[in-house]
Amino acid sequence: MSTIEQNKVELTNSVSVQGLTLLELLEGASTHADKGKSALHALNSVQLLGGAGSLIARATDRYRLIEGKIEGEGHLDHTLISLDDIKRVIETIKSNKLARVTLTRIGDLLTVSLDGSSLTLNVLDANYPNSFGDLLNKSERESLGETSFNPAYFADYAKIAGKGNAVRVEFTGERKPIIIHLPATKVTWRALLMPMRII
166 and 71, same structural domain? no
What pLDDT, on the 0 to 100 scale, is given for residue 194? 85
**Can you say whether the dihedral through the CA atoms of 183, 189, 194, 196 is positive or negative?**
negative
The whole-number pLDDT of residue 8 equals 46
In terms of domains, do 135 and 155 share one?
no
| Lowest-confidence pick of 6-10, 12-16, 39-43 | 6-10
pTM (two decimals)? 0.78
Give the residue-averaged pLDDT of 98-108. Answer: 96
Structural domain of 161: 151-193
- Do residues 132 and 166 share a domain? no
Which pLDDT band, with edges at 50, 70 and 90, does 197 fall under?
confident
Q: What is the pLDDT of residue 143?
A: 55
For residue 4, how many other CB atoms are within 10 A of its CB?
A: 8
Assess whether pLDDT exceeds 50 at residue 99: yes
* Nearest CA-CA partner of 190 in 174, 199, 177, 179: 179
pLDDT tops 70 at residue 9: no
106 and 166, same domain (yes or no): no
- pLDDT mean over 89-94: 96
Across residues 54-75, what is the average pLDDT?
92
Kind plus residue range of the DSSP H or E element containing 180: strand 178-181
Residue 198 lies in a domain: no
What is the model's pLDDT at position 10? Answer: 44
Quote the mean pLDDT of the chain.
85
Judge whether residue 79 has pLDDT over 80.
Answer: yes
pLDDT of 116 reads 86
Based on its alpha-carbon atoms, the radius of gyration of the chain, rounded to whole angstroms, reads 20
* Cα–Cα distance, 146 to 124 (Å, whole number): 37
Q: Would residue 199 count as lying in a domain? A: no
Is 10 in the same domain as 49? yes
pLDDT tens for each residue of 18-33: 999 999 999 999 999 9
For the cut 60, the answer to whether the pLDDT of residue 155 exceeds it is: yes
Q: Is the pLDDT of residue 16 over 80?
A: yes
Q: 103 with 165, same domain?
A: no
pLDDT value for 103: 97
